[in-house]
Amino acid sequence: MTPLILHHYAASPFAEKVRLMLGYKGLPWRSVTVPSIMPKPDLVALTGGYRRTPNLQIGADVYCDTALIARVLERHQPAPSLYPASAPLAPLLAQWADSTLFWTVIAFTMRPDTLAQVFAGQPPEAIKAFGADRAALTAGMRRIASRDAVAQLPAYLSALQAQLADGRRWLFGDAACIADFSVAHGLWFIRRAPLMGVFDPHPQLKAWLERVLAIGHGVHETMDSADALRLAAAATSHAPCVVHPEPGLQAGQAVTVSAIDYGTDPVAGTLVGLGADEVVVRRHDERAGTVHVHFPRIGFQIKEQQP
């Protein structure tokens, strides 16, 4: 069976989201550690320029963005489900958590008075390099200011506390779902800082977070990035995909796909998959071979390449 390979690094909140989902579903996986800042030559060989973390590789198919990765894991192992029928609003709460809550958490946590805790043990040059990398990653993006985050985060935490106040174990009832993992990864970053006192006024939320994190990361083993590239190059097939034509877009067309908020580096390739939820481009790399790179439709834009 083709292994699930997660390209990630330990301190990435979004990677923690996927690690926990893998643990929840009991899926064995292989761990490829990527640099937290550019350059990322082996990752870029697979993605064609997309640099955000994490990425899931299955043979010569590479899946970008945790919203899509969650759907792939669901197809791979339907039970326990991340999308129970009893929680139809869970994906919408997850989308809010992955955007509004996440960036509020980042602004709240990465303040001048907390950076020493966040980067404890890191040399000044490493902190400076990280800051420069993230400035480039988010160039042109409007982000919440730290003082506004300090004012707004307590309201978000209070609302989440209220959702759990009836004694439920998970945000939407008796079973965890996509919303639990999306909310948890941002709060995990606060906990990791560590800024645990933030949760003291919210005991049910604090207990819920510990339950989510107790799920763990499941069974996994380390893998070298060069081996992951060789596995992609040796693959003889790709996941099935179909192009449903849209105005100006059809199978075999040269396109670029890029995120619309941050990390907007375009990935160029041939359009081989297009639907309501996913876009897939085929590209070739000297080391990775012919790779299909998958993106969600929400949060990404497709552009025709000009001749």
Helices 102-109 and 146-164, packing angle to 10 deg: 130
Is the pTM here over 0.85, yes or no?
yes
Its CATH class, for the domain covering 5-80+220-304, is alpha beta
pLDDT, residue 120, reads: 82
| Beta strand 278-285 pairing with 289-296 | antiparallel
Query: Tokens 């359009």 correspond to what residue?
Result: 271
Q: Name the β-bridge partners of 243.
A: 274
Task: Give the long-range contacts of residues 220-227, CB within 8 A, separation 24 or more.
Answer: 220/6, 220/22, 220/28, 220/29, 220/30, 220/31, 221/30, 221/31, 222/30, 222/31, 222/32, 222/33, 223/5, 223/30, 223/31, 223/32, 224/32, 225/7, 225/32, 225/33, 225/34, 225/42, 225/43, 226/42
Tell me if residue 74 falls in helix, strand or coil: helix
CA separation for the pair 56, 217 (Å, rounded):
15
Nearest to 220 by CA among 12, 17, 20: 20
Mean pLDDT of 224-229: 98
Query: Tokens 């339950």 correspond to what residue?
Result: 211
pLDDT, residue 307, reads: 65
Q: Work out the angle at residue 56's Cα, subtended by the Cα atoms of residues 104 and 58, and round it to the nearest 5 degrees.
A: 165
Question: Residues, the chain, total?
Answer: 307
Per CATH, the number for 90-214 is 1.20.1050.10
Nearest to 290 by CA among 217, 235, 247: 235
Percent of the chain with pLDDT over 90: 91
Tell me the C-alpha to C-alpha distance, in Å, between residue 143 and each of 82, 103, 197. 29, 7, 25
CA separation for the pair 136, 276 (Å, rounded):
30
C-beta atoms surrounding 66 within 10 Å? 28
pLDDT, residue 230, reads: 98
Indicate the pLDDT class of residue 300, thresholds 50, 70 and 90: very high
User: DSSP readout, 165-196?
Assistant: TT--SBTTBSS--HHHHHHHHHHHHHHHTT-G
Contact 187, 105 (CB under 8 A): yes
pLDDT at 276 over 90: yes
Contact 134, 38 (CB under 8 A): no
Q: Where in the chain is the domain with CATH 1.20.1050.10?
A: 90-214
pLDDT, residue 246, reads: 94
Q: Where in the chain is the domain with CATH 3.40.30.110?
A: 5-80+220-304
pLDDT in tens, 67-115: 999 999 999 999 999 999 999 999 999 999 999 999 999 999 998 888 8
pLDDT in tens, 167-212: 999 999 999 999 999 999 999 999 988 787 999 999 999 999 999 9
Of residues 251 and 112, the one with the higher pLDDT is 251
